Homo-oligomer: A and B are copies of this chain.
Amino acid sequence: MNTGSSDSPRARTTLLMGFHCHQPVGNFHSVLRQACATCYGPLLEELARFPDFRFGFHMSGYLLEWISEQEKGIHSVLAELASRGQAELLTAGFYEPILSVIPPEDALEQIGILSDHIRDISGERPAGLWLTERIWDPGLVPLLHRAGIRYSIVDDNHLMAAGLGDRDLNGYFITESRGLVMALYPISQALRYATPFKPVPEALAAIESAGDGAAIVFDDGEKFGLWPETFDWVYGKGWLRDFLEAVTNSETITTESFTRYLEDNSPLGRVYLPPGSYFEMAEWTLPPRDARLFHDLHSELERSGRGPAARRFLRGGLWPHFFIKYDESNNMHKKMIRISERTLRDPIPEARRHLLRGQCNDAYWHGIFGGLYLPVLRNSIKRELNEAERILDEATGVPGPRLGDLNADGRNEAEIRSADGIVGITSTGGQVYELSDKRSLFDLLGTLTRRMEHYHLAATEAREDTGEGVATIHEAFRSMDEETRRYLVYDRYPRYAFIDHFLPEGTGIGDFAGGNFSQWGDFADGAYGMELVGEGVRADRSGTIRPEGAHAVGLALEKTFTLDERRLRVGYRLRAEEEPGVPCVFACEINLHFPSATSCRAEMDGMPFSLADVADTGSGRVVSVRDPSLQEALTLELSRPAMVWSFPVQTVSQSEKGFDVAYQGSCLVLRWALDFAGLKTLSLDLTLAF
């Protein structure tokens, strides 16, 4: 119990400060080198000059491994700080996974790896856990208990939302689940904004405002040198040295380790936190119009003086809503879960290590950073997962075809494999959503669908708005130029492969690429029956074509998928009740994702065309694409010549620097006149060799 001492003239504040340093798995080495030079290195060296300044420190595994090999100097400073007790190292999932969405066995192993590292560095196993993206889940308590964790770190507004709105938050709180307890330290938002951005005296005043309690802050280490303009401020102008000097010389502030504070002080109270994270995250998880509704309601309540109540009771979506918002994230996540199940059955250490690397959170979601929108991050995760798949398939044999709810959406998916490839097929549209090459470890079906984002919406509305007041809300808009806005196109269907369209004869490539076309069939997002047939999969649907100006025609569409080494064969069979009364085009859409983006060399029947352009390449039978990063060219062979369109799929996403236009993939549209020539059956064979 902190009874306080009434005879001390001034209250003594305990500063509990921590730094969290992270780089996503697969990030460019050049980025890591720069981060070490401008941030991690100078930060640790400056801290080392003030041995009385105690602090907490967390570094995620990909970065820690890289530093221990590539930046041994930085690693040894860290080890010195930890072993002399100045730095208290916190654990986490080693490769910075979101703990609540990975299997508990994996979470324990991830934490165990970093805890072992920390014991090797500091001589002690850590008692504290850095909570990745501060995504709390009450179900974590028993798991963290098993991992020996005594405390973790959350946001102050997270605690406010849990019913501690008006309470003193300068200390720690106890949460529990089924009798197991854990301590939670709330990060002060005011201190997050003050360090290192406010002048040192202001930062000190913010610390002292905690009175005789604890002033708590634990934030991105990258704010100390890597974030725009911070290098000059923190080191050039000397903010950090001044700050450390002022704190260590202060008579009113003392620093302490989080664990020691826990031992010496009683909790401020008890709390049960809902699952969630910082306030903005709850907005990002929502679909765009809901995000706006949420944002507007919040702003309105803030303006009308109901801000405190709003902060406590307004809650947006949960983190797993990203799995609903982005099918690509869900498919990647469920592939990861399936691999985890396999590695738990067949525990091959190398496969498990790649699996754990493939759990790194950044590519699974999107907020203020690019995240999922960055092909390099998605490709890195898939590379790790496919490496695990390759190792498992080689060790335990290539599994036979599977049918079941593989991505946990309540509908069937199928998977077929060869020694070289993995093909995933969804019953919605009977489409291929994954084509992973186990040699290159690359998923050729990795195109990201173009979706509306709430910041697009803000841009569009602001354009239509007459002014007054909107500008301040939608600051983002002001930086989106006219050129970028032209890329704001949204897809009607996920950008998978073998999407079946029935189009009016006159549909143009521009209309199709822009999503402004008439869809006469109900196949592109219709439910297909699926069954395993031998080593392949048959998908079929009895649907309808409803041409404008003619009556509806029933049509049975059957696709059989077989994978033979590096060749995916898709056999189409269409049977109509009768010929459609007006000219109709059957279009098969195939979206392909290439690591080198538009610098690939594409040809149709030997004639080159550019993947960077919207291209009507005429009619042909063989399309090939050679990506300089891939060993094999990709070839698409058709049993019947098709008219072919090609266009790039590009997205607009926000990042910490503004708006990015990114190449996500190339759309090939193969078209045939729907003419049964009296036979009532139309057969087509497509072969995709990779």
Contact = CB atoms under 8 A, between A and B. Distances in A.
Nearest to A407: B179
Given A163-B324, A180-B408, 20 more contacts: A3-B527, A138-B318, A162-B318, A163-B317, A165-B290, A174-B408, A179-B334, A179-B341, A266-B410, A266-B527, A267-B410, A270-B409, A272-B317, A272-B324, A274-B275, A274-B276, A293-B309, A294-B313, A313-B314, A313-B315
A237 interface: no
A556 interface: no
Contacts of A275: 138, 274-275
Most central of A174, A176, A316, A405 by chain B CB within 10 Å = A176
Interface string A11-42: 00000000000000000000000000000000
Q: How many copies does the complex hold?
A: 2
B266 A411 contact: yes
Nearest to A173: B410
A324 B271 contact: yes
A640 interface: no
Contacts of A408: 174, 176, 179-181, 270
14 contacts: A137-B138, A176-B408, A178-B337, A179-B408, A181-B408, A266-B411, A267-B409, A270-B323, A270-B408, A274-B275, A274-B276, A297-B306, A297-B309, A297-B313
Interface of A: 1, 3, 101-103, 137-139, 162-163, 165, 174, 176, 178-181, 183, 266-267, 269-272, 274-276, 286-287, 290, 293-294, 297, 301, 306, 309-310, 312-318, 320-321, 323-324, 334, 337-338, 341, 405, 408-411, 526-527
Contact of A410 (B139, B174, B297, B321): B174
B163 A321 contact: yes
Contacts of A341: 179
B337 A179 contact: yes
B411 A267 contact: yes
A174 B313 contact: no
A174 B411 CA distance: 10
Give 9 closest A-B pairs by Cβ, nearest first: A174-B410, A1-B527, A139-B139, A179-B337, A267-B410, A176-B408, A272-B320, A315-B315, A181-B408
B318 A272 contact: yes
Nearest to A405: B181
A101 B266 contact: no
Contacts of A287: 163
Contacts of A334: 179
Contacts of A163: 286-287, 290, 317, 321, 324
Nearest to A527: B1
Nearest to A183: B410
Contacts of A269: 324
Contacts of A321: 163, 272
A157 to B, nearest CB: 14
Given A138-B137, A318-B274, A178 B266 contact: no
B324 A270 contact: yes
Nearest to A322: B272
A669 to B, nearest CB: 26
Contacts of A272: 317-318, 320-321, 323-324
Contacts of A181: 405, 408, 410
Contacts of A297: 301, 306, 309-310, 313
A9 B287 CA distance: 36
Contacts of A271: 324
A358 to B, nearest CB: 14
Contacts of A337: 178-179
Contacts of A286: 163
A159 to B, nearest CB: 13
Contacts of A318: 138, 162, 272, 274
Nearest to A544: B6
A270 B316 contact: no
Contacts of A274: 274-276, 315, 318
Q: Which of A137, A301, A316, A318 has the most CB of B within 10 A?
A: A318
Contacts of A323: 270, 272
Contacts of A314: 313-315
A337 B178 CA distance: 7
Contacts of A405: 181
Most buried by B among A181, A310, A320, A527: A320
A409 B103 contact: no
Contacts of A103: 178
Contacts of A176: 408
Contacts of A1: 526-527
Contacts of A526: 1
A375 to B, nearest CB: 25
A338 B179 contact: yes
A297 B315 CA distance: 14
Nearest to A325: B163
